[in-house]
Amino acid sequence: MRPYIIKRPGNVRAGIVNQRVTNRVSYSLDSTLESVNTAEQKAFEVAAKAGFGEDEQHHIGMAVREAAVNAVLHGNAYDPKKKFLVAYETTPKSLVITITDQGNGLNLDTIPDPLAPDNLMKQTGRGIFLIRSFMDEVRIRNTEPGTEITLIKHVGGKAANAKEETL
């Protein structure tokens, strides 16, 4: 796995976080479960390097894993011709991770509430819920084709204050 952008000082994309980026690294990965593990492992490493504690590293890693699974499984559907992009951006106040697939897009309206009594015992449907639970901010955008999900963890932030936007 070779990063193709490393340590690019500058600003995170306008409209996402208006903070100076101190480190940015991104990867284009195959639509495989091995890539999911790679994205997760890298998240642990970046989170640790950014100074997050063990529990927060776990939450960030798990959120990235769930988002990467969505990209590979539901987005790209294991299509060997399709890639997914994972970008890790560290600012003085936040870690911003963006995962973009080349699938058919994600319709949040079709995702049931996994905490609803009728859904509690369902086998699937908890991925987005866990991402929302573990990150401070979650933004999901249809890129037509594809879906871009941005996961933000603030230094000293509380997951309980999580926000979400669908753009």
Partner 1 sequence: MKASNRQVDGVTIVDLSGRITLGEGSVVLRDTIRDLVSKGNKKILLNLGDVTYIDSSGIGELVSAFTTVRNQNGELKLLKLTKKVHDLLQITKLYTVFDIKDDEAAAVQSFAK
Comparing CB distances to partner 1, the nearer of 2 and 158 is: 158
Whether residue 162 contacts residue 136, with contact meaning beta carbons closer than 8 Å, is answered with: yes
19 vs 119 by CB, closer to partner 1: 119
Cα 115 to Cα 37: distance, rounded to the nearest angstrom = 27
Q: Is 123 in the site for partner 1 (CB under 8 A)?
A: yes
One character per residue 14-53, x = contact with partner 1 (rule: CB under 8 A): -------------------x--x-----------------
Q: Which residues of 71-85 are buried (b: 16+ CB within 10 A; e: fewer)?
A: bbbebbeeeeebbbb
* Residue 154: how many other CB atoms lie within 10 Å: 18
Among 48, 129, 155, 162, contact with partner 1 (rule: CB under 8 A): 129
- Candidates 9-17, 98-106, 129-137, 146-154: pick the segment binding partner 1 (CB under 8 A): 129-137
Q: Do the Cβ atoms of 157 and 95 come closer than 8 Å?
A: no
Part in contact with partner 1 (CB under 8 A); list of ranges 64-72, 83-91, 97-105, 145-153: 64-72
Looking at the Cβ atoms of 9 and 117, the one nearer to partner 1 is 117
Cβ atoms of 153 and 47 within 8 Å: the answer is: yes
Whether 16 and 96 have beta carbons less than 8 Å apart is answered as yes
Binder among 3, 38, 48, 69 for partner 1 (CB under 8 A): 69
